[in-house]
Structure 1
């Protein structure tokens, strides 16, 4: 799948930088639309990626649009519920179409589909900086080992994730710091497979302003982790020690503690920054689009990012294909309008993020949902994006809890 760097062309129609979900989605649709696409990544595939690995309904929809849903679900661990666990131990199972597949395999499947559609993949190859003609981006300077190459392109699509170096080099970063951070590990343990059969999310004052999770992967493996969407501090002037938060999670949540005590940790814990709420970066400049988590495509509150990364990558490709004959300004306006149309929903998830800061809110919602079928339906609607998550945690929303 990774072509020899010596085969790197001097020019292409579109250079896609980053072969994760957003970049590979864009590359596939562009290649399918007849564009000459070069797809690069700083790591050779397959490669690991720190993530919760959960696939919620928006990811399923995007994977279908990319014609890879069958391949993904052929390997993924399906689940029927998100199990929400409150600080006092109350829990509610929220139904949805769900699955878990480690990003090492998910990203490889989506990337291979892009290559099968005609995109040329080169890795490891690192983006150094854009080639510029005035304000316009006309390609990129790339590096492989000690060798530097230049590649001319009509368009460059940056899909480089939450690490800001590429955004900074391209002059697209509005904020250097991430929106949050997460830490996860994989634990193999056959015994809990029957009892941990949902995507389990846990709120507790010890974990605030974040949460913990346990997601069942295929083969008796569990993704266990903690995250925060608030750039929190555990002491004045200092960032939270996520390893301590992880240890707190395994101490206060019995299934997490038993999983670690009786299972085998597969490799070290890995952390990753998160960029949320479609904020922190410019979305375009002449000749360049920013997409995926580089554009802030992860939701606050849930930390879910795979589906929206795929979706923003699809939007980038669609804007480029639709505006090919109408000029740079039309493409950029179309793309930015597509993402700005998503922004109100991202803002609602940012409102709902107050539940991570104040876990008693999660306790209240869980307590009421156990007594209200209508509220359980509202929670399911949050997962499939048919209901407003912010309504649950506003003063008006909390008042409505008692009328459901």
Structure 2
């Protein structure tokens, strides 16, 4: 294989990797994306884009097809609370459709692709070598179980206490969306997220502890079970996790961690793509300076753009894994202003 010399190497061609590649090309950098999987790349996720994510994609020239999302509805067996976005709407987009739109834009801008799996990262004073790719900077966008994060010594082990790991499971159903809201159905120990999608589909994602049974959770959500009783699933079950991932820092020399690779709390609040897109923009802005000292700027910006997500999601997750869990929906209903303020804060 011929060696490739570029300004930026991106490891991982998921949505955040492709977005980072697009950001770097728009800034005038030469870019290669390193990815062994075939396109389009799918993933078990809720597939709802917050309004801020829709705006961020539009700034990159990416306009995926999808179903409008007007807000969120939290519901349990007896009550519900909902909030509609104050300005602009979100979008329910199948992950493969989002990936297709990002890949097309990356191709349009001349992003190179290398079909390879990363097994080593070698840093030099003025760059990074990954296999046959030499780059001034490396963006690690290789997901929850990031190989690059481990190779550069930024892996942080989970806290060894009670097993609080959570996993995500997802199916698509052929049924016309019955609402323009993302519905979050709260069961005793799991949540079912329902996202309206384009083409007469809804996506159902279940989040729960190890060994969560997707179909069993649906049996405990009567409203959702009744709606899906006559609907066909269009594909098999897809899973991801454990969701909680930690890193000791977001950069090491000329390697920057973006998106899930940089650390992840949980999918409870649904804005992973929005935050990852903000990481991509911050990373490209950081390397616009000179030398590895710019990595420190990225660490600061990473903290700034991730703060709301981490604080609100961590708080909600702590409540969801405590005796307070049954009070989450009643509290949202009793304090609509607070519920709405949290949704709006995350949405933008």
Alignment of 1:64-103 (within 5 A): 64-68=58-62, 71-72=63-64, 75-86=65-76, 88-96=77-85, 97-103=89-95
> Residue 121 of structure 2 contacts residue 148 of structure 2 at CA under 8 Å; is this kept in 1?
no
TM superposition shift of 1:201: 0.2
Matched residue pairs, number?
337
1:158 aligns with 2:140: yes
Partner SS, residue 303 of structure 2: helix
1:32 aligns with 2:26: yes
TM superposition shift of 1:137: 5.9
Alignment of 1:256-335 (within 5 A): 256-273=224-241, 275=243, 279-297=246-264, 301-321=268-288, 323=289, 326-329=290-293, 331-335=294-298
Q: Which moved more, 1:258-267 or 1:53-62?
A: 258-267
Partner SS, residue 262 of structure 1: coil
Q: Which residue of 1 aligns with 2:17?
A: 23
Q: Which residue of 2 aligns with 1:170?
A: 152
Alignment of 1:112-123 (within 5 A): 112-123=104-115
Distance change >3 Å, CA 100–CA 59, structure 1 → 2: same
* Higher percent of residues as helix: 1
Partner SS, residue 241 of structure 2: strand
Q: Which residue of 2 aligns with 1:216?
A: 196
Alignment of 1:205-244 (within 5 A): 205=188, 208=189, 210-228=190-208, 232=209, 240-242=210-212, 244=213
> Residue 176 of structure 1 contacts residue 280 of structure 1 at CA under 8 Å; is this kept in 2?
no
Higher RCO (Cα < 8 Å, 6 or more apart): 2
Partner SS, residue 155 of structure 2: coil
> Residue 77 of structure 1 contacts residue 100 of structure 1 at CA under 8 Å; is this kept in 2?
yes
Distance change >3 Å, CA 29–CA 344, structure 1 → 2: closer
Partner SS, residue 385 of structure 1: helix
Q: Which residue of 2 aligns with 1:198?
A: 181
> Residue 139 of structure 1 contacts residue 151 of structure 1 at CA under 8 Å; is this kept in 2?
yes
TM superposition shift of 1:174: 1.4
2:18 & 2:108 partners in 1: Cα distance?
A: 11
Distance change >3 Å, CA 314–CA 21, structure 1 → 2: farther
> Residue 9 of structure 2 contacts residue 31 of structure 2 at CA under 8 Å; is this kept in 1?
yes
> Residue 55 of structure 1 contacts residue 99 of structure 1 at CA under 8 Å; is this kept in 2?
yes
Q: Which residue of 2 aligns with 1:338?
A: 301
- Which of 120, 124, 131 in structure 2 is aligned with 1:129? 120
TM superposition shift of 1:179: 5.8
TM superposition shift of 1:274: 5.3
2:267 & 2:205 partners in 1: Cα distance?
A: 16
Q: TM-score, normalised by structure 1?
A: 0.76
TM superposition shift of 1:356: 1.9
Deviations 1:122-169 (Å, cap 9, x if unpaired)? 33x2111112348x862102xxxxxxxx21111111100112333223
- Which of 89, 98, 113 in structure 2 is aligned with 1:106? 98
The gaps in structure 2 that reach 5 residues or longer are none
TM superposition shift of 1:361: 1.9
The gaps in structure 1 that reach 5 residues or longer are 1-5, 142-149, 233-239, 369-374, 388-404
Partner SS, residue 229 of structure 2: helix
CA-based RMSD of the aligned residues comes to 2.5
